[in-house]
Structure 1
């Protein structure tokens, strides 16, 4: 049932036309009557569950006589119950922290499985989880940067994500690196008739690639980097920089010379 105009005005009058949350007053602020405990959570329309708050509506003030009795004030227990309900419906910091750890190990495992048909052992997964949690809790890296580190460590089948700490890559740089690893891996496997590069070889390639993506234009030179990654994979080489240099020499000066 909607709050009547008369009751709305009585609540505003009771609260001296001031927001009970921030203290803003009329006429400088537009005021409304709010449920302390939302109706969706069982709150009712009684005065002890209604409070003045900043809003766009101040309707109903003409529906009550100036000398009318002030309605019941908000019960402080209602405020406490509202706070408890809010805490119950929102995850605490510890829950959020653990959920992010789980996210990181999920990214690491996905990247590992994408590079290998063999899943990591329970011991490897436990060690990676431990190291990623230490990084997440003990550093000021952004969530995107930590996700990037987890991806690179998983791609290299490494349980030491700290090895892959580096400057935070942009979205374009990260995409360039991920696609280059895929091109290199697939070309290597095809040239080797199904034999995959080892974890150490993959880690070495990723190290060189990471340094490269920090230097090149991730958009303008994407095709050249992909070609270099595929060429390195075809020759089962862990150095992408060597092949990028060779391709640039073959291409010659842009536009040619007269």
Structure 2
């Protein structure tokens, strides 16, 4: 009797099966990224329109006549763009990157379902890896710490040069340097992986390299093979469609805050978390 009860408890329930099937669909997640991109583009357009209109109105004024209220309006405009990136774009991008991204092998967990407790297998199947951790794994794989702390790189940073050892810095090196900067910056404030990921998105947009950075990481075969499931958005589509949409942001001159300790954003929890 005990053995039959144990055998029965090890079987996946209908609800578990439904959850597993639901996880494989990425249509809604992909749509949310598209909405977030459109919202950001719209916010940028509105801000640019307002700025041009404001400059025309103040065209004959001396620079010294810029009032406090003007500065507050500029802050508000910038805040709207920052919020569109950190509250909408970054979470939507993260969700799509995390579709089918697991610390443990999901397929293996299903194959040996009867060998371990249902709860153990099901929790393993739900153990989604944070997108930022995937970036850190790339950083470790490419020996990012050694590159970032090399004397040649430190010298280049000291003089704000885009060269390392006399050679122009590559996009891969720029990516490693960016990840390193975000990690060091957030260590001081003990911030979460969410904060790191959002700051990295801001950094990448400022550099006009978000698509380039994502393409490099998502073409790193060992990462994709080890951590993405066959039904994931990334493996199913190669992330090409999303990258094409994100490329619409590349031409925009972003000036997003990366440092979480920027004082004028400290009072707005949504901007820094």
- TM category, shorter: under 0.3
Where relative contact order (Cα < 8 A, 6+ residues apart) is larger, the structure is: 2
- TM-score normalised by L of structure 2: 0.24
